[in-house]
Amino acid sequence: MLIVLKQTATEADAELVKKKIADTGLKPLYLPGEEKVVLGAIGDERKIAKLELQSLDFVERVVPVLKPYKLCNREFKSEKAIVKVRNVEIGGNEVTQIAGPCSVESEEQIVSTAHAVKKAGAKILRGGAYKPRTSPYAFQGLEEEGLKLLELAREETGLPIVTEIVSEYHIDVVGKTADMFQIGARNAQNFRLLKAVGGTKTPVLLKRGPASSMSEFLMAAEYIISEGNPNVVLCERGIKSFFTETRNTFDLSVIPLLQKETYLPVIGDPSHGTGVRDLVSPMGCAAIAAGADGIIVEVHPEPEKALSDGFQQLTPPQYEEMTKKMAAVAKAVGRTSASLEL
C-alpha cells in the first residue's frame, strides 16, 4: 500500500500514519519527494485497508500495490481451472457451447430446443425458470413448473442444465434441478445470493454486472469461493456505456484481461452482449478469437413468439450455422468447438 500525502502535510502527519501502519504489525516505509511525501506499508494490505487512511484530511490518495482478490488471483495459482458441469468441462481446450431459450415456456418448446441445440454442438442447456425482468408487468418465468420441464429436457437429451437463481430462498428448489447456477447481471452484487451459492458445491455461472469493473467482478467471484465453492465460471455479457445502438457494449477485451488476472474459466454471451440477432454470430466468433472458454447463446424455435428477448434469440438453423463458424474460428486459434459437422 502506498499513501501519497498532500503537499501541505506536516512531518507530524507523516509520523502519525507511520505509527498507524506499525500498529497493525506491518512495516512502514518513508519516501520523501521534492514536493510530496509518499509512505509505504509492507505486508497484507487488507490490514491497511481497514485503517481507511484516505479519510485523513492530509492524505491525498491511497494506492494499493496488491490486488484485493486473493482466492481467484492468478498470481497465486497459475494453471487454469477446469470447472465440471456433470460430465462437461469448461476451461479445457474445447470451447464449451451453451445454448437454449431465454425462458422455459412449455414442454414442447424446451425439449425441441434442447434437441436442436444438442445437434448443433451445444453441451449444456440454458433456460430460465425464474426471470428477473425490468418490468413487473413482463413475463416472470414458469418457476417450479419451468424447473420440471428443464429436468425433462435433460432426461431426453442428456444435456446438463444451467438456470438462473434469483433468491437465497431458492437454493434448495433450484439447486435440486440445476447442474449449474446462473447468477444474472442484476444480481452481480447481491452478496447474500453470492454467499448462498458459495455454500453449495454446484458450479456457478457468474455474469458480470452491467456496471462492474474487473475488480468488482472478481470480488463477486471471491464471495463465492471464500464460502467454499471454487467452481466459478465468469461470463462477460456486456456493460453499459453511452453507446445505445446495441443493447449493451460487449466488452470482449475483458476476456483476455481476466485470463491474465485469474485462473477461472471465462465465457462470452453475445446474445445479451449485443441484443441484436444479426450480431450474435459474428460476436460469438469474435469472443472465441479473443480467447473465450465458452459461448452462451439464446436459441428459440420461434423467436417471434418468445415470451422474452425474442429480438435477440436465434432459430435452431441460425444457431447451427453459427456453431459451424465458431468451430472454424476455434480451430484457427488452436482450440476445438463442437458443431454439426464434427
Cα R_g (the chain), whole angstroms: 23
* CA 334-202-97 angle, 5° bins: 30
Stretch that binds a copy of itself, among 36-44, 85-93, 111-119, 152-160 (CB under 8 A): 36-44
Letters for 301-330 (x = contact with a copy of itself by CB under 8 A, - = none) are --xxxxxxxxx-x-----------x--xx-
Stretch that binds a copy of itself, among 89-97, 116-124, 173-181, 221-229 (CB under 8 A): 221-229
CB of 162: closest distance to a copy of itself in angstroms? 19
**Nearest alpha carbon to residue 53 among 43, 44, 63:** 63
Instruction: State which residue, 68 or 92, has the beta carbon closest to a copy of itself.
Output: 68
| 194, 188 Cβ separation under 8 angstroms | no
Site residues for a copy of itself, 51-70, by CB under 8 A, read 52-57, 63, 65-66, 68
**Nearest alpha carbon to residue 128 among 144, 146, 114:** 146
| 222, 72 Cβ separation under 8 angstroms | yes
Among 115, 215, 263, 335, binds a copy of itself (CB under 8 A): 215
Q: How far apart are CA 335 and CA 320, in angstroms?
A: 19
Q: Return the axis-axis angle of helices 214-226 and 254-261, rounded to nearest 10°.
A: 50
Instruction: State which residue, 88 or 166, has the beta carbon closest to a copy of itself.
Output: 166
Secondary element (H or E) of residue 215: helix 214-226
Among 19, 176, 192, 201, binds a copy of itself (CB under 8 A): 192
Among 82, 86, 226, 301, binds a copy of itself (CB under 8 A): 226
Total residues at interface with a copy of itself (CB under 8 A): 107
Instruction: State which residue, 56 or 99, has the beta carbon closest to a copy of itself.
Output: 56
CB of 62: closest distance to a copy of itself in angstroms? 9
Stretch that binds a copy of itself, among 86-94, 104-112, 156-164, 240-248 (CB under 8 A): 240-248
Among 10, 93, 106, 253, binds a copy of itself (CB under 8 A): 253
Asked if residue 190 binds a copy of itself (CB under 8 A), the reply is: yes
Asked if residue 181 binds a copy of itself (CB under 8 A), the reply is: no
Site residues for a copy of itself, 82-101, by CB under 8 A, read none
| Neighbour count for residue 200 (Cβ, 10 Å) | 19
Q: Is 34 helix (H, G, I), strand (E, B) or coil?
A: coil
Cα torsion 295, 81, 187, 144 to 10°: value is 70
Asked if residue 176 binds a copy of itself (CB under 8 A), the reply is: no
Among 46, 108, 145, 155, binds a copy of itself (CB under 8 A): 46
> Euclidean distance between the first and final Cα of the chain, in Å?
52
Across the strands, what pairs with 37?
32
Asked if residue 75 binds a copy of itself (CB under 8 A), the reply is: yes
Instruction: State which residue, 128 or 273, has the beta carbon closest to a copy of itself.
Output: 273
Q: How far apart are CA 92 and CA 192, in angstroms?
A: 30
Among 24, 29, 84, 177, binds a copy of itself (CB under 8 A): 29
Q: How far apart are CA 63 and CA 65, in angstroms?
A: 6
Asked if residue 241 binds a copy of itself (CB under 8 A), the reply is: yes
CB of 88: closest distance to a copy of itself in angstroms? 24
Q: Return the axis-axis angle of helices 107-120 and 144-157, rounded to nearest 10°.
A: 40
Instruction: State which residue, 4 or 82, has the beta carbon closest to a copy of itself.
Output: 4
99 contact partners, CB below 8 Å, separation of at least 6: 117, 120, 122, 124, 125, 126, 296, 297, 298, 299, 319
Site residues for a copy of itself, 110-139, by CB under 8 A, read 132-139
